[in-house]
Amino acid sequence: MACKRGALIVLEGVDRAGKTTQCNRLVEALQLSGRPAAMMRFPDRTTTIGKLINSYLESKSDLEDHTVHLLFSANRWELVPLMKKKLEEGTTLIIDRYAFSGVAFTSAKPGFSMNWCMNPDMGLPKPDLVLFLQLNHAAAAQRGQFGTERYETSSFQQTVQRRFEELIADTSINWQVIDASQSIDEVHENIKRLSVKAMNAAEDWPIGELWT
Protein backbone atom coordinates (compact mmCIF):
# COMPACT_ATOMS: atom_id res chain seq x y z
CA MET A 1 0.00 0.00 0.00
CA ALA A 2 1.40 3.35 -1.05
CA CYS A 3 -0.37 5.20 1.78
CA LYS A 4 -1.98 4.24 5.06
CA ARG A 5 -5.43 2.82 4.42
CA GLY A 6 -8.63 4.37 5.69
CA ALA A 7 -10.81 2.64 8.27
CA LEU A 8 -14.22 1.11 7.70
CA ILE A 9 -16.53 2.36 10.42
CA VAL A 10 -20.19 1.32 10.59
CA LEU A 11 -23.04 2.85 12.58
CA GLU A 12 -25.91 0.54 13.44
CA GLY A 13 -28.98 0.77 15.64
CA VAL A 14 -32.74 0.65 15.57
CA ASP A 15 -34.73 3.38 13.86
CA ARG A 16 -34.52 6.90 15.38
CA ALA A 17 -31.30 6.21 17.29
CA GLY A 18 -29.68 9.08 15.38
CA LYS A 19 -27.38 7.12 13.04
CA THR A 20 -27.61 9.44 10.05
CA THR A 21 -27.08 12.61 12.12
CA GLN A 22 -24.05 11.05 13.78
CA CYS A 23 -22.58 9.77 10.49
CA ASN A 24 -22.75 13.29 9.05
CA ARG A 25 -21.24 14.86 12.19
CA LEU A 26 -18.41 12.34 12.24
CA VAL A 27 -17.47 12.79 8.57
CA GLU A 28 -17.52 16.57 9.04
CA ALA A 29 -15.32 16.40 12.18
CA LEU A 30 -12.79 14.05 10.58
CA GLN A 31 -12.54 16.20 7.46
CA LEU A 32 -12.05 19.33 9.59
CA SER A 33 -9.19 17.62 11.39
CA GLY A 34 -7.56 16.91 8.02
CA ARG A 35 -8.38 13.19 7.80
CA PRO A 36 -10.00 12.14 4.50
CA ALA A 37 -13.46 10.70 5.21
CA ALA A 38 -16.61 9.95 3.24
CA MET A 39 -20.07 8.73 4.10
CA MET A 40 -21.95 5.85 2.50
CA ARG A 41 -25.28 4.32 3.40
CA PHE A 42 -27.04 1.03 2.86
CA PRO A 43 -29.33 0.49 1.21
CA ASP A 44 -27.84 2.72 -1.48
CA ARG A 45 -31.11 3.53 -3.21
CA THR A 46 -29.48 5.13 -6.29
CA THR A 47 -28.38 1.92 -8.08
CA THR A 48 -30.63 -0.35 -10.17
CA ILE A 49 -30.78 -2.84 -7.28
CA GLY A 50 -31.25 0.01 -4.79
CA LYS A 51 -34.28 1.24 -6.74
CA LEU A 52 -35.92 -2.20 -6.42
CA ILE A 53 -35.25 -2.08 -2.66
CA ASN A 54 -36.60 1.47 -2.40
CA SER A 55 -39.82 0.52 -4.13
CA TYR A 56 -40.18 -2.45 -1.75
CA LEU A 57 -39.53 -0.32 1.36
CA GLU A 58 -42.06 2.25 0.22
CA SER A 59 -44.56 -0.62 -0.31
CA LYS A 60 -44.87 0.26 -3.99
CA SER A 61 -43.92 -3.32 -4.85
CA ASP A 62 -43.86 -6.67 -3.09
CA LEU A 63 -40.87 -8.99 -3.06
CA GLU A 64 -40.52 -12.48 -1.61
CA ASP A 65 -38.63 -12.26 1.73
CA HIS A 66 -35.55 -14.32 0.74
CA THR A 67 -35.33 -12.39 -2.50
CA VAL A 68 -35.31 -8.99 -0.86
CA HIS A 69 -32.70 -10.16 1.64
CA LEU A 70 -30.43 -11.17 -1.24
CA LEU A 71 -31.03 -7.84 -2.97
CA PHE A 72 -29.94 -5.94 0.17
CA SER A 73 -26.76 -8.06 0.19
CA ALA A 74 -26.19 -7.60 -3.56
CA ASN A 75 -26.54 -3.85 -3.01
CA ARG A 76 -23.56 -4.04 -0.64
CA TRP A 77 -21.49 -6.28 -2.91
CA GLU A 78 -21.97 -3.98 -5.90
CA LEU A 79 -20.35 -1.15 -3.91
CA VAL A 80 -17.38 -3.25 -2.69
CA PRO A 81 -14.97 -2.24 -5.50
CA LEU A 82 -15.63 1.44 -4.74
CA MET A 83 -15.30 0.88 -0.98
CA LYS A 84 -11.96 -0.92 -1.38
CA LYS A 85 -10.65 1.77 -3.74
CA LYS A 86 -11.48 4.53 -1.27
CA LEU A 87 -10.07 2.66 1.73
CA GLU A 88 -6.84 1.91 -0.14
CA GLU A 89 -6.55 5.56 -1.16
CA GLY A 90 -6.59 6.42 2.55
CA THR A 91 -10.21 7.59 2.89
CA THR A 92 -12.04 6.48 6.01
CA LEU A 93 -15.58 5.34 5.23
CA ILE A 94 -18.39 6.04 7.65
CA ILE A 95 -21.28 3.77 6.79
CA ASP A 96 -24.90 4.19 7.84
CA ARG A 97 -26.06 0.51 8.25
CA TYR A 98 -24.31 -2.56 6.86
CA ALA A 99 -24.68 -6.35 6.87
CA PHE A 100 -25.70 -6.27 10.56
CA SER A 101 -28.92 -4.47 9.66
CA GLY A 102 -29.37 -7.01 6.88
CA VAL A 103 -29.24 -9.89 9.37
CA ALA A 104 -31.17 -8.18 12.19
CA PHE A 105 -34.09 -7.13 9.98
CA THR A 106 -34.53 -10.30 7.93
CA SER A 107 -34.05 -12.63 10.90
CA ALA A 108 -36.78 -10.69 12.70
CA LYS A 109 -39.18 -12.18 10.12
CA PRO A 110 -40.65 -15.62 10.87
CA GLY A 111 -38.73 -18.61 9.51
CA PHE A 112 -35.30 -16.99 9.07
CA SER A 113 -32.23 -18.19 10.97
CA MET A 114 -29.42 -15.76 11.66
CA ASN A 115 -27.03 -18.18 10.02
CA TRP A 116 -28.96 -18.21 6.73
CA CYS A 117 -29.12 -14.43 6.82
CA MET A 118 -25.37 -14.03 7.39
CA ASN A 119 -24.30 -16.25 4.48
CA PRO A 120 -24.63 -13.87 1.51
CA ASP A 121 -22.63 -11.16 3.31
CA MET A 122 -19.72 -13.43 4.26
CA GLY A 123 -16.49 -12.04 2.83
CA LEU A 124 -17.58 -8.40 2.60
CA PRO A 125 -14.95 -5.91 3.79
CA LYS A 126 -14.89 -6.30 7.57
CA PRO A 127 -15.55 -3.13 9.55
CA ASP A 128 -12.72 -1.98 11.82
CA LEU A 129 -15.35 -0.64 14.22
CA VAL A 130 -19.11 -1.07 14.54
CA LEU A 131 -20.83 1.52 16.70
CA PHE A 132 -24.22 0.42 17.97
CA LEU A 133 -26.41 3.34 18.97
CA GLN A 134 -28.43 1.92 21.81
CA LEU A 135 -31.81 3.50 22.50
CA ASN A 136 -34.47 1.80 24.55
CA HIS A 137 -37.99 1.51 23.30
CA ALA A 138 -39.46 4.24 25.55
CA ALA A 139 -36.75 6.75 24.59
CA ALA A 140 -37.24 5.97 20.90
CA ALA A 141 -41.00 6.48 21.27
CA GLN A 142 -40.39 9.96 22.74
CA ARG A 143 -38.59 10.95 19.54
CA GLY A 144 -41.89 10.85 17.66
CA GLN A 145 -43.88 8.59 15.42
CA PHE A 146 -42.41 5.90 13.23
CA GLY A 147 -42.26 6.68 9.53
CA THR A 148 -44.44 5.02 6.96
CA GLU A 149 -41.92 2.63 5.41
CA ARG A 150 -42.02 -1.12 5.74
CA TYR A 151 -40.51 -2.37 9.06
CA GLU A 152 -41.33 0.91 10.85
CA THR A 153 -43.58 -0.61 13.48
CA SER A 154 -42.98 -0.87 17.18
CA SER A 155 -43.23 -4.66 17.55
CA PHE A 156 -40.99 -5.38 14.55
CA GLN A 157 -38.35 -2.93 15.81
CA GLN A 158 -38.33 -4.65 19.21
CA THR A 159 -37.58 -7.98 17.55
CA VAL A 160 -34.87 -6.30 15.45
CA GLN A 161 -33.31 -4.95 18.68
CA ARG A 162 -33.12 -8.50 20.10
CA ARG A 163 -31.43 -9.75 16.94
CA PHE A 164 -28.89 -6.93 17.16
CA GLU A 165 -28.17 -7.98 20.76
CA GLU A 166 -27.33 -11.49 19.51
CA LEU A 167 -25.01 -10.04 16.84
CA ILE A 168 -23.25 -7.81 19.40
CA ALA A 169 -22.32 -10.93 21.40
CA ASP A 170 -19.96 -11.91 18.52
CA THR A 171 -16.52 -10.96 19.79
CA SER A 172 -14.87 -11.36 16.37
CA ILE A 173 -16.35 -7.94 15.54
CA ASN A 174 -15.15 -4.72 17.20
CA TRP A 175 -18.56 -3.66 18.57
CA GLN A 176 -18.88 -0.57 20.74
CA VAL A 177 -22.26 0.18 22.27
CA ILE A 178 -23.08 3.88 22.61
CA ASP A 179 -25.83 5.29 24.82
CA ALA A 180 -27.85 7.18 22.21
CA SER A 181 -30.11 8.80 24.82
CA GLN A 182 -27.33 11.34 25.55
CA SER A 183 -27.25 14.71 23.76
CA ILE A 184 -26.18 14.80 20.09
CA ASP A 185 -22.89 16.46 21.13
CA GLU A 186 -22.12 13.88 23.81
CA VAL A 187 -22.84 10.98 21.46
CA HIS A 188 -20.70 12.66 18.81
CA GLU A 189 -17.72 13.08 21.16
CA ASN A 190 -17.89 9.39 22.16
CA ILE A 191 -18.12 8.28 18.57
CA LYS A 192 -15.27 10.53 17.44
CA ARG A 193 -12.94 9.28 20.16
CA LEU A 194 -13.61 5.61 19.36
CA SER A 195 -13.33 6.25 15.61
CA VAL A 196 -9.94 7.97 15.81
CA LYS A 197 -8.65 5.09 17.93
CA ALA A 198 -9.94 2.53 15.38
CA MET A 199 -8.49 4.55 12.47
CA ASN A 200 -5.05 4.62 14.07
CA ALA A 201 -5.20 0.88 14.79
CA ALA A 202 -6.42 -0.04 11.28
CA GLU A 203 -3.93 1.87 9.16
CA ASP A 204 -1.18 -0.75 9.25
CA TRP A 205 -3.45 -3.77 8.77
CA PRO A 206 -5.01 -5.19 5.61
CA ILE A 207 -8.78 -4.95 5.20
CA GLY A 208 -10.39 -8.02 6.80
CA GLU A 209 -13.23 -10.24 5.56
CA LEU A 210 -16.54 -10.28 7.38
CA TRP A 211 -17.71 -13.52 9.04
CA THR A 212 -15.10 -15.78 7.42
Q: Which residues bind ligand TMP (CB under 6 A)?
A: 42-43, 57, 72, 97, 101-102, 105, 151
Minimum gap (Å) between residue 45 Cβ and ligand TMP = 7
Residue 188 contacts residue 32 (beta carbons within 8 Å): no
Distance, CA of 48 to CA of 88 (rounded, Å)? 26
Between strands 8-13 and 37-41, the pairing is: unpaired
Coil, strand, or helix at residue 13? Answer: strand
Side chain identity at residue 52, one-letter code: L
Q: Is the peptide bond before 43 cis (omega within 30 degrees of 0)?
A: yes
Q: Smaller CB distance to ligand TMP: residue 32 or 48? A: 48
Q: Smaller CB distance to ligand TMP: residue 5 or 130? A: 130
Coil, strand, or helix at residue 5? Answer: coil
* Residue nearest to ligand TMP as judged by C-beta position: 102
Q: Smaller CB distance to ligand TMP: residue 76 or 188? A: 76
Minimum gap (Å) between residue 121 Cβ and ligand TMP = 8
Minimum gap (Å) between residue 3 Cβ and ligand TMP = 29
Minimum gap (Å) between residue 185 Cβ and ligand TMP = 22
Q: Smaller CB distance to ligand TMP: residue 5 or 72? A: 72
Distance, CA of 176 to CA of 154 (rounded, Å)? 24
Q: Can you list the alpha helix ranges (DSSP code H) found in the chain?
A: 19-32, 48-57, 65-77, 80-89, 99-106, 114-118, 137-142, 154-168, 184-202
Q: Smaller CB distance to ligand TMP: residue 100 or 195? A: 100
Minimum gap (Å) between residue 210 Cβ and ligand TMP = 13
